[in-house]
Amino acid sequence: MSISLTILGCHSATPRINAFPTSQYLEINNSHFLIDCGEGTQRQMRKYKVGFSKINHIFITHLHGDHFYGLVGLLSTFGILNRDKELHIYGPKGIKEVTLLQLKISQSHAKYKMIFHELTSKKSELIFEDDKVSVSTIPLTHRVYTNGYLFKEKEKSRKLNMLNISGYSEIDKADYLNIKAGKDVVLSSGKIVFNTELTIDPPKPLSFAFCSDTCYKPDIVPIIKNVDLLYHEATFLDDRKDLAKKTKHATTKEAAQIAKDANAKQLIIGHYSGRYKDINVFKEEAQEIFENTELAVPGKVFIV
């Protein structure tokens, strides 16, 4: 059980020579997800060796260009590569219309099945779940309807404590599945052998929260409480708090405060405004409030 997060793009607004808009590739519990798809995402995927065929679920936070203008190009490429697996796309209402229109007008080769999951709720909701991972929305406040996403591993079965099990001759392999499922064992004598004696706790499920774009929104803290890895936008330094408020973005210190209040294990900040030439100051300022802060940088991989 682990998390591997690859930063594909982490800057705001327009792409530049060495600055790509938002996109991240997440591997969690052997599942693979693409989060946001700004311009140049598929180029970055190739550069950092992200497997196109592994992605079956794409999550778009909102319909600002720097978060989804790369989507139709990626979908077209999937078609050129003769993709046949269905693809699930999650995002705000309108994403289906704008995407299919572009593919239709351009007569792109997208013959695989696309399933759109359009979001409208302003409350957190479970939008994806399988036997490995669940994904819930994190309602954010921006200039347009926006959601972040919380990815959580499913808890695994308990591990067998073979040393203790070997002390009971009546317990055989046929009992193992029930024991792993958490059940006690009743011996022929009537004695109950409690599950906690026969098993070992599985590794703690890990979680990742993606929050971009948004103004300072402390009411998301209960949703992301105790998250292992948190990405939170920090478009501006604290001296431009007025501009952050006006544009409904967050500052470094606001992102750090969210991480602190949520008891996050680690914070990643990004979505830097192009007005700043040295992004290291973002980290320094955030660390005044939350020490375990790192910068999003294209190609950087975070492992939990």
Beta bridge partners of 25: 6, 34
Backbone angles phi, psi at 74, to 5 degrees: -65, -40
Report the amino acid identity of residue 189. S
User: What predicted TM-score, i.e. pTM, was given to this entire model?
Assistant: 0.91
For 36, residues 6+ apart whose C-beta sits below 8 A from its C-beta are 22, 23, 24, 59, 60, 61, 67, 68, 212
Paired with 229 in beta bridges are 208, 266
Rounded CA gap, 195 and 40, in Å? 52
List the structure tokens of 178.
């029930």
- Domains along the chain with CATH numbers: 3-156+203-303 (3.60.15.10), 159-200 (no CATH)
Dist. CA 260–CA 266, nearest whole Å: 9
- Sign for the CA dihedral angle at 8, 10, 12, 15 comes to negative
Q: What is the pLDDT along the chain (304 residues), one digit of tens a residue?
A: 589 999 999 999 888 888 899 999 999 999 999 999 999 999 999 999 999 999 999 999 999 999 999 999 999 999 999 999 999 999 999 999 999 999 999 998 778 999 999 999 999 999 999 999 999 999 999 999 999 999 999 988 788 889 988 888 888 888 888 988 889 999 889 899 899 888 898 889 999 999 999 999 999 999 999 999 999 999 999 999 999 999 999 999 999 999 999 999 999 999 999 889 899 999 999 999 999 999 999 999 999 9
Q: Which residues are annotated as catalytic?
A: 66
One-letter amino acid for residue 51 of the chain:
G
Structure tokens given for 13? 């607004």
